Protein backbone atom coordinates (compact mmCIF):
# COMPACT_ATOMS: atom_id res chain seq x y z
CA UNK A 1 0.00 0.00 0.00
CA UNK A 2 2.81 2.35 0.92
CA UNK A 3 4.66 1.47 -2.27
CA UNK A 4 1.57 2.18 -4.36
CA UNK A 5 1.08 5.56 -2.66
CA UNK A 6 4.73 6.40 -3.13
CA UNK A 7 4.48 5.47 -6.80
CA UNK A 8 1.40 7.71 -7.28
CA UNK A 9 3.16 10.59 -5.53
CA UNK A 10 6.17 10.10 -7.76
CA UNK A 11 3.98 10.08 -10.87
CA UNK A 12 2.13 13.21 -9.74
CA UNK A 13 5.41 14.98 -9.02
CA UNK A 14 6.72 13.96 -12.47
CA UNK A 15 3.61 15.36 -14.17
CA UNK A 16 3.89 18.62 -12.23
CA UNK A 17 7.54 18.89 -13.16
CA UNK A 18 6.74 18.27 -16.83
CA UNK A 19 3.98 20.89 -16.77
CA UNK A 20 6.32 23.42 -15.16
CA UNK A 21 8.93 22.66 -17.79
CA UNK A 22 6.38 23.10 -20.58
CA UNK A 23 5.19 26.39 -19.10
CA UNK A 24 8.78 27.62 -18.75
CA UNK A 25 9.48 26.63 -22.37
CA UNK A 26 6.35 28.43 -23.56
CA UNK A 27 7.28 31.61 -21.67
CA UNK A 28 10.79 31.50 -23.12
CA UNK A 29 9.41 31.14 -26.65
CA UNK A 30 7.16 34.13 -26.08
CA UNK A 31 10.02 36.20 -24.70
CA UNK A 32 12.32 35.26 -27.57
CA UNK A 33 9.55 36.02 -30.07
CA UNK A 34 8.93 39.48 -28.61
CA UNK A 35 12.69 40.14 -28.58
CA UNK A 36 12.90 39.09 -32.24
CA UNK A 37 10.13 41.60 -33.01
CA UNK A 38 12.37 44.46 -31.85
CA UNK A 39 15.66 43.22 -33.34
CA UNK A 40 15.28 44.63 -36.84
CA UNK A 41 13.27 47.84 -36.80
CA UNK A 42 12.96 48.25 -40.58
CA UNK A 43 11.73 44.71 -41.20
CA UNK A 44 9.31 45.04 -38.31
CA UNK A 45 7.93 48.33 -39.62
CA UNK A 46 7.57 46.95 -43.16
CA UNK A 47 5.79 43.77 -42.06
CA UNK A 48 3.51 45.61 -39.62
CA UNK A 49 2.66 48.29 -42.21
CA UNK A 50 1.69 45.75 -44.87
CA UNK A 51 -0.43 43.78 -42.43
CA UNK A 52 -2.04 47.03 -41.21
CA UNK A 53 -3.06 47.88 -44.78
CA UNK A 54 -4.41 44.35 -45.20
CA UNK A 55 -6.54 44.50 -42.05
CA UNK A 56 -7.71 48.03 -42.89
CA UNK A 57 -8.94 46.76 -46.27
CA UNK A 58 -10.82 43.97 -44.49
CA UNK A 59 -12.32 46.48 -42.04
CA UNK A 60 -13.43 48.97 -44.71
CA UNK A 61 -14.78 46.20 -46.96
CA UNK A 62 -17.04 44.87 -44.22
CA UNK A 63 -18.15 48.37 -43.17
CA UNK A 64 -18.83 49.47 -46.77
CA UNK A 65 -20.85 46.36 -47.49
CA UNK A 66 -23.02 46.97 -44.42
CA UNK A 67 -23.54 50.62 -45.33
CA UNK A 68 -24.58 49.83 -48.88
CA UNK A 69 -26.93 47.05 -47.80
CA UNK A 70 -28.58 49.35 -45.23
CA UNK A 71 -28.89 52.12 -47.82
CA UNK A 72 -30.46 49.74 -50.33
CA UNK A 73 -32.86 48.56 -47.65
CA UNK A 74 -33.81 52.13 -46.84
CA UNK A 75 -34.58 52.84 -50.49
CA UNK A 76 -36.49 49.54 -50.74
CA UNK A 77 -38.70 50.51 -47.79
CA UNK A 78 -39.67 53.76 -49.52
CA UNK A 79 -40.58 52.10 -52.81
CA UNK A 80 -44.05 50.74 -53.44
CA UNK A 81 -45.77 49.31 -56.48
CA UNK A 82 -48.66 51.30 -57.94
CA UNK A 83 -51.77 49.87 -59.57
CA UNK A 84 -54.29 52.36 -60.97
CA UNK A 85 -58.05 51.83 -61.21
CA UNK A 86 -60.43 53.88 -63.34
CA UNK A 87 -62.01 56.92 -61.67
CA UNK A 88 -65.52 55.46 -61.96
CA UNK A 89 -64.61 52.20 -60.19
CA UNK A 90 -67.09 51.43 -57.42
CA UNK A 91 -65.72 51.39 -53.84
CA UNK A 92 -66.94 47.80 -53.29
CA UNK A 93 -65.07 46.64 -56.41
CA UNK A 94 -61.95 48.51 -55.30
CA UNK A 95 -62.16 46.82 -51.89
CA UNK A 96 -62.45 43.37 -53.50
CA UNK A 97 -59.37 44.09 -55.61
CA UNK A 98 -57.44 45.29 -52.54
CA UNK A 99 -58.41 42.14 -50.61
CA UNK A 100 -57.24 39.97 -53.51
CA UNK A 101 -53.88 41.72 -53.67
CA UNK A 102 -53.41 41.49 -49.90
CA UNK A 103 -53.83 37.73 -50.09
CA UNK A 104 -50.74 37.40 -52.31
CA UNK A 105 -47.84 35.81 -50.46
CA UNK A 106 -45.34 38.34 -51.80
CA UNK A 107 -47.36 41.36 -50.62
CA UNK A 108 -46.89 42.86 -47.15
CA UNK A 109 -49.24 45.86 -47.27
CA UNK A 110 -51.70 47.69 -49.52
CA UNK A 111 -52.82 51.29 -49.09
CA UNK A 112 -55.60 52.96 -51.08
CA UNK A 113 -55.91 56.52 -52.34
CA UNK A 114 -59.39 57.34 -53.64
CA UNK A 115 -59.94 59.80 -56.51
CA UNK A 116 -61.30 62.33 -53.98
CA UNK A 117 -58.18 62.04 -51.83
CA UNK A 118 -55.98 62.30 -54.90
CA UNK A 119 -57.92 65.33 -56.07
CA UNK A 120 -57.58 67.08 -52.70
CA UNK A 121 -53.86 66.34 -52.60
CA UNK A 122 -53.39 67.58 -56.18
CA UNK A 123 -55.21 70.83 -55.44
CA UNK A 124 -53.18 71.38 -52.28
CA UNK A 125 -49.89 70.73 -54.05
CA UNK A 126 -50.68 72.79 -57.17
CA UNK A 127 -52.99 75.59 -56.09
CA UNK A 128 -50.21 78.14 -56.33
CA UNK A 129 -49.36 77.15 -59.90
CA UNK A 130 -52.86 77.16 -61.47
CA UNK A 131 -54.81 80.25 -62.43
CA UNK A 132 -58.39 79.36 -61.66
CA UNK A 133 -60.37 76.87 -59.63
CA UNK A 134 -62.03 75.68 -62.85
CA UNK A 135 -58.64 74.74 -64.26
CA UNK A 136 -57.83 72.82 -61.10
CA UNK A 137 -61.18 71.04 -61.18
CA UNK A 138 -60.80 70.12 -64.83
CA UNK A 139 -57.28 68.83 -64.25
CA UNK A 140 -58.34 66.65 -61.34
CA UNK A 141 -61.60 65.23 -62.64
CA UNK A 142 -59.89 62.19 -64.14
CA UNK A 143 -57.58 61.16 -61.29
CA UNK A 144 -57.76 57.38 -60.75
CA UNK A 145 -57.86 55.16 -57.72
CA UNK A 146 -54.27 54.42 -56.65
CA UNK A 147 -53.32 51.19 -54.92
CA UNK A 148 -49.86 51.40 -53.33
CA UNK A 149 -48.43 47.97 -52.71
CA UNK A 150 -45.38 46.95 -50.67
CA UNK A 151 -43.67 43.66 -51.44
CA UNK A 152 -41.52 41.30 -49.40
CA UNK A 153 -38.84 41.57 -52.09
CA UNK A 154 -38.97 44.63 -54.32
CA UNK A 155 -37.25 42.68 -57.09
CA UNK A 156 -39.87 39.91 -57.06
CA UNK A 157 -42.90 41.33 -58.91
CA UNK A 158 -43.79 38.15 -60.80
CA UNK A 159 -46.76 37.12 -58.63
CA UNK A 160 -48.22 40.64 -58.54
CA UNK A 161 -47.81 41.04 -62.28
CA UNK A 162 -49.56 37.72 -62.92
CA UNK A 163 -52.45 38.78 -60.68
CA UNK A 164 -52.80 42.14 -62.45
CA UNK A 165 -52.84 40.43 -65.85
CA UNK A 166 -55.20 37.57 -64.94
CA UNK A 167 -57.77 38.82 -62.38
CA UNK A 168 -61.03 39.60 -64.27
CA UNK A 169 -62.27 42.30 -61.90
CA UNK A 170 -58.93 44.07 -61.84
CA UNK A 171 -58.62 43.91 -65.63
CA UNK A 172 -62.10 45.39 -66.00
CA UNK A 173 -61.46 48.15 -63.46
CA UNK A 174 -57.89 49.08 -64.43
CA UNK A 175 -57.32 52.59 -65.75
CA UNK A 176 -56.61 52.16 -69.49
CA UNK A 177 -54.53 55.34 -69.62
CA UNK A 178 -52.13 54.55 -66.77
CA UNK A 179 -50.45 51.14 -66.73
CA UNK A 180 -49.31 49.58 -63.44
CA UNK A 181 -46.05 51.06 -62.25
CA UNK A 182 -43.72 48.41 -60.94
CA UNK A 183 -41.40 50.97 -59.35
CA UNK A 184 -40.49 52.69 -62.64
CA UNK A 185 -37.50 54.98 -62.30
CA UNK A 186 -37.28 54.17 -58.61
CA UNK A 187 -36.71 50.54 -59.52
CA UNK A 188 -33.79 51.63 -61.69
CA UNK A 189 -32.33 53.45 -58.71
CA UNK A 190 -32.74 50.36 -56.55
CA UNK A 191 -31.16 48.12 -59.17
CA UNK A 192 -28.23 50.54 -59.39
CA UNK A 193 -27.74 50.45 -55.63
CA UNK A 194 -28.06 46.66 -55.56
CA UNK A 195 -25.41 46.38 -58.25
CA UNK A 196 -23.21 48.75 -56.28
CA UNK A 197 -23.62 46.52 -53.21
CA UNK A 198 -22.68 43.42 -55.21
CA UNK A 199 -19.72 45.17 -56.81
CA UNK A 200 -18.49 46.56 -53.49
CA UNK A 201 -18.79 43.14 -51.88
CA UNK A 202 -16.88 41.40 -54.66
CA UNK A 203 -14.28 44.16 -54.89
CA UNK A 204 -13.82 44.13 -51.12
CA UNK A 205 -13.38 40.36 -51.04
CA UNK A 206 -10.96 40.52 -53.97
CA UNK A 207 -8.91 43.34 -52.42
CA UNK A 208 -8.84 41.52 -49.08
CA UNK A 209 -7.57 38.31 -50.69
CA UNK A 210 -4.88 40.20 -52.61
CA UNK A 211 -3.65 42.08 -49.56
CA UNK A 212 -3.76 38.96 -47.38
CA UNK A 213 -1.56 37.21 -49.95
CA UNK A 214 0.85 40.17 -50.09
CA UNK A 215 0.94 40.42 -46.31
CA UNK A 216 1.60 36.70 -45.96
CA UNK A 217 4.43 36.95 -48.49
CA UNK A 218 6.02 39.94 -46.74
CA UNK A 219 5.91 38.25 -43.34
CA UNK A 220 7.14 35.02 -44.93
CA UNK A 221 10.19 36.88 -46.26
CA UNK A 222 10.68 38.68 -42.94
CA UNK A 223 10.73 35.40 -41.04
CA UNK A 224 13.01 33.89 -43.67
CA UNK A 225 15.50 36.73 -43.25
CA UNK A 226 15.31 36.35 -39.48
CA UNK A 227 16.07 32.63 -39.85
CA UNK A 228 18.99 33.42 -42.15
CA UNK A 229 20.41 36.00 -39.73
CA UNK A 230 20.18 33.55 -36.83
CA UNK A 231 21.15 30.40 -38.70
CA UNK A 232 24.21 29.73 -36.51
CA UNK A 233 22.15 30.13 -33.35
CA UNK A 234 19.50 27.80 -34.74
CA UNK A 235 22.11 25.23 -35.77
CA UNK A 236 23.55 25.28 -32.26
CA UNK A 237 20.08 24.76 -30.81
CA UNK A 238 19.63 21.74 -33.07
CA UNK A 239 22.98 20.29 -31.96
CA UNK A 240 22.13 20.50 -28.28
CA UNK A 241 18.84 18.73 -28.91
CA UNK A 242 16.29 21.56 -28.78
CA UNK A 243 12.79 20.46 -29.68
CA UNK A 244 11.33 21.49 -33.02
CA UNK A 245 8.52 23.41 -31.34
CA UNK A 246 11.04 25.41 -29.30
CA UNK A 247 12.96 26.43 -32.45
CA UNK A 248 9.82 27.27 -34.41
CA UNK A 249 7.90 28.87 -31.53
CA UNK A 250 9.67 32.27 -31.33
CA UNK A 251 9.13 32.87 -35.05
CA UNK A 252 5.42 32.11 -34.70
CA UNK A 253 5.17 34.43 -31.71
CA UNK A 254 7.02 37.15 -33.65
CA UNK A 255 4.51 36.91 -36.50
CA UNK A 256 1.59 36.98 -34.06
CA UNK A 257 2.99 40.17 -32.55
CA UNK A 258 3.04 41.69 -36.06
CA UNK A 259 -0.64 40.81 -36.39
CA UNK A 260 -1.52 42.14 -32.94
CA UNK A 261 -0.03 45.59 -33.45
CA UNK A 262 -1.31 45.77 -37.03
CA UNK A 263 -4.84 44.94 -35.85
CA UNK A 264 -4.76 47.66 -33.19
CA UNK A 265 -3.49 50.27 -35.67
CA UNK A 266 -5.90 49.21 -38.44
CA UNK A 267 -8.87 49.25 -36.06
CA UNK A 268 -7.94 52.72 -34.86
CA UNK A 269 -7.64 54.05 -38.41
CA UNK A 270 -10.85 52.30 -39.48
CA UNK A 271 -12.89 53.73 -36.61
CA UNK A 272 -11.43 57.21 -37.22
CA UNK A 273 -12.42 57.04 -40.90
CA UNK A 274 -15.88 55.80 -39.98
CA UNK A 275 -16.57 58.60 -37.50
CA UNK A 276 -15.01 61.43 -39.51
CA UNK A 277 -16.83 60.43 -42.71
CA UNK A 278 -20.22 60.00 -40.98
CA UNK A 279 -21.49 63.64 -41.24
CA UNK A 280 -20.69 63.92 -44.96
CA UNK A 281 -22.15 60.52 -45.87
CA UNK A 282 -25.30 61.10 -43.83
CA UNK A 283 -25.81 64.47 -45.56
CA UNK A 284 -25.88 62.64 -48.91
CA UNK A 285 -28.56 60.23 -47.71
CA UNK A 286 -26.17 57.31 -47.14
CA UNK A 287 -27.61 55.16 -44.36
CA UNK A 288 -24.44 54.97 -42.24
CA UNK A 289 -26.04 55.14 -38.80
CA UNK A 290 -26.85 51.40 -38.35
CA UNK A 291 -23.27 50.46 -39.23
CA UNK A 292 -21.92 53.18 -36.95
CA UNK A 293 -24.09 51.92 -34.08
CA UNK A 294 -23.10 48.31 -34.77
CA UNK A 295 -19.37 49.02 -34.81
CA UNK A 296 -19.65 51.21 -31.69
CA UNK A 297 -21.65 48.70 -29.67
CA UNK A 298 -19.44 45.75 -30.66
CA UNK A 299 -16.14 47.67 -30.71
CA UNK A 300 -14.40 45.14 -28.47
CA UNK A 301 -15.57 42.23 -30.58
CA UNK A 302 -14.51 43.97 -33.82
CA UNK A 303 -11.01 44.62 -32.47
CA UNK A 304 -10.78 41.02 -31.23
CA UNK A 305 -11.74 39.68 -34.67
CA UNK A 306 -9.15 41.94 -36.29
CA UNK A 307 -6.49 40.63 -33.89
CA UNK A 308 -7.48 37.03 -34.65
CA UNK A 309 -7.29 37.68 -38.40
CA UNK A 310 -3.88 39.30 -38.00
CA UNK A 311 -2.67 36.42 -35.81
CA UNK A 312 -3.97 33.88 -38.33
CA UNK A 313 -2.07 35.56 -41.18
CA UNK A 314 1.06 35.68 -39.03
CA UNK A 315 0.83 32.03 -37.97
CA UNK A 316 0.29 30.77 -41.52
CA UNK A 317 3.19 32.78 -42.96
CA UNK A 318 5.57 31.89 -40.13
CA UNK A 319 4.74 28.16 -40.30
CA UNK A 320 5.36 28.23 -44.05
CA UNK A 321 8.73 29.94 -43.54
CA UNK A 322 9.91 27.66 -40.73
CA UNK A 323 8.78 24.50 -42.53
CA UNK A 324 10.66 25.45 -45.69
CA UNK A 325 13.81 27.02 -44.34
CA UNK A 326 14.29 25.14 -41.07
CA UNK A 327 13.34 21.79 -42.64
CA UNK A 328 11.16 21.06 -39.63
Q: Do residues 104 and 58 both lie within one domain?
A: no
Residue 265 pLDDT class (50, 70, 90 cuts): very high
pLDDT at 51 exceeding the cut of 50: yes
Q: In terms of residue numbers, what domain contains 108?
A: 80-182
Q: Do residues 67 and 84 both lie within one domain?
A: no
Q: Which residues contact 177 (CB under 8 A, 6 or more apart)?
A: none
Percentage of residues in the chain with pLDDT exceeding 70?
Answer: 72
* Domain-ending residue, one of 166, 182, 198: 182
Q: Do residues 246 and 316 both lie within one domain?
A: yes
Closest CA to 57 of 209, 162, 197, 280: 209
Query: What's the total number of domains in the chain?
Result: 2
Burial class (CB in 10 A: 0-12, 13-18, 19+), 191: middle
* Domain-ending residue, one of 130, 153, 182: 182
Global confidence as pTM: 0.66
Q: Do residues 163 and 202 both lie within one domain?
A: no
Q: Do residues 226 and 300 both lie within one domain?
A: yes
Query: What dihedral do alpha carbons 223, 227, 233, 236 form, nearest 10°?
Result: 120
Query: What is the helix (H) or strand (E) element at residue 108, kind and residue range?
Result: strand 107-113
CATH of the domain at 101: 3.30.70.3040
Q: Which range among 2-6, 26-30, 79-83, 167-171 has the greatest average pLDDT?
A: 167-171
Residue 287 pLDDT class (50, 70, 90 cuts): confident
* Mean pLDDT on 195-216: 74
* CB < 8 Å & 24+ apart, contacts of 184-191: 186/75, 186/78, 186/79, 187/79, 187/154, 189/75, 190/72, 190/75, 190/76, 190/79, 190/154, 190/155, 191/155
Percentage of residues in the chain with pLDDT exceeding 90?
Answer: 5
What's the 3-state SS for 167-183?
A: CHHHHHHECCCCCCECC
Q: Do residues 70 and 87 both lie within one domain?
A: no
Q: Does residue 12 lie within any of the structural domains?
A: no
pLDDT of residue 271: 92
Closest CA to 26 of 258, 249, 322, 323: 249
pLDDT at 205 exceeding the cut of 90: no
Residue 171 pLDDT class (50, 70, 90 cuts): confident
Q: Do residues 208 and 64 both lie within one domain?
A: yes
Q: Which range among 28-32, 209-213, 254-258, 319-323 has the greatest average pLDDT?
A: 254-258
> Do the Cβ atoms of 96 and 167 come closer than 8 Å?
no
Q: Does residue 316 lie within any of the structural domains?
A: yes
Higher pLDDT, 275 or 24: 275
**DSSP β-bridge partners for residue 85:** 145, 174
pLDDT at 184 exceeding the cut of 60: no
Q: Do residues 156 and 224 both lie within one domain?
A: no
Q: Do residues 102 and 148 both lie within one domain?
A: yes
**How far is 270 from 204, CA to CA, in rounded Å?**
15
- The mean pLDDT of the chain is 76
* Mean pLDDT on 58-76: 78
Q: Do residues 146 and 285 both lie within one domain?
A: no
DSSP 273-314: HHHHHHHHHHHTT---HHHHHHHHHTHHHHHHHHHHHHHHHH
Q: Do residues 60 and 197 both lie within one domain?
A: yes
DSSP state of 89: -
* Mean pLDDT on 84-97: 86
Amino acid sequence: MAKSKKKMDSKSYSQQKRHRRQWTTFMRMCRYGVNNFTRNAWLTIAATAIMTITLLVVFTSFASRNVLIDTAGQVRDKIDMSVYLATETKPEDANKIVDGIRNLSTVTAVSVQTPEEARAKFIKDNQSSVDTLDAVTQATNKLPWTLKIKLVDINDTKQLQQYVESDPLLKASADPNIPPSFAGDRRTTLVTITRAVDFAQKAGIGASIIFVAISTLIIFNTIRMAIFNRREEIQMMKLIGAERSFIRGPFVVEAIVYGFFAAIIASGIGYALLYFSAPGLLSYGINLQPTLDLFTYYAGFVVLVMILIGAFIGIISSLMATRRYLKL
